[in-house]
Amino acid sequence: MLVARGLSKQYPLDGRPRTLFRDLSFDLERDGRLALMGRNGQGKSTLIKILGGVVAPTAGEVKWSMSCSWPLGFGGGFHGGMTGLDNIRFLARIYRRPAAEMIERVDEFAALGKALGMPLKHYSSGMRARLAFGLSIAIEFDCYLIDEVISVGDALFREKCEEELFGVRAQRAFVIASHDLEFLRKTCSRAIVIESGRAKMFNDINLAIDVYCAISDESHRAIGTAATTATMAA
């Protein structure tokens, strides 16, 4: 189970504190599927990183009683100077998995072929995503933290990811940050919506999507009004 209590995140922006969210509390069961929704820059990725232990919250705590993946889509877990193979070996040691078996499973899923022998700094974002996905599937986690990475790569790769994650691992927990509303509707049951320094839990994914769409429309309306005002002023 994942238990998050009183999570807040602030960071300085132009010398003033900017709050992404405050006092956010929620639980996630071992088979729970939680969506994170919000416009760009509102804090979805930061929340995923906090859950994954990559970024510290300003306040609050995260308690895991199940294993969790690193935030998929976040490249910070890899060493750019090392080859794909060496990165796999490195993570195999950290997670105490047999390296040869890991390499085989990653290669089978990611289909990177000879590129596994290249340093990661030469990988495209899509190749890094394939490697990250392959590793997370080879290691096997109880909960997967996914940050938009599903949308990386071609349609075939996306299908493969979806099948591996949500088909083969249907009973695992997922936290998914995405703008793909139909994907979230299909895969998640609840959602946290983050907007303008607030984060709210919605226990109905359809309601969360309605709320998010309203936020997006309001935002477009505000941008349109500002643009019109600026044009008139000019």
Partner 1 sequence: MLEPVRAEGSAAIWWERETFLSSESDDNRCPAVIDVTGQARYLTYGPFIELRPGFWRARVLLEVCIDAARRRLAVQFGVEPAYTTVELPYGVPGRHEIVVEHRLAEAGPVQIRLYLQRAAFHGEVRFLGAYLERLGDPAE
Residues 173-202 that bind partner 1 (CB under 8 A): 193, 195-196, 198, 200
Please, what is the minimum distance in Å from the beta carbon of residue 221 to partner 1? 9
Q: Under a CB-based contact definition with an 8 Å cutoff, are residues 200 and 35 in contact?
A: no
What's the closest the beta carbon of residue 181 comes to partner 1, in angstroms? 13
- Of the candidate spans 3-11, 16-24, 160-168, 210-218, the one that interacts with partner 1 by CB under 8 A turns out to be 210-218
Q: Which token pair is 201?
A: 């839990």
Q: Is residue 213 involved in binding partner 1 (CB under 8 A)?
A: yes
Q: Which segments of 29-159 are extended strands (E)?
A: 33-38, 59-64, 143-147
User: Cβ 201 to partner 1, closest distance in Å?
Assistant: 11
CA atoms within 13 A on the CB side of 159: 3
Other Cβ atoms less than 10 A from the Cβ of 232: the count is: 7
Q: Which of 214, 223, 226, 227 binds partner 1 (CB under 8 A)?
A: 214
| 215-234 residues near partner 1, rule: CB under 8 A | 215, 217-218
Report how far Cα 73 is from the mean position of its chain's Cα atoms: 6
Alpha-carbon distance of 223 to 61, in angstroms, equals 36
Question: Quick check: 102 binds partner 1 (CB under 8 A)?
Answer: no
Would you tell me which residues interact with partner 1 (CB under 8 A)?
A: 193, 195-196, 198, 200, 207, 210-215, 217-218
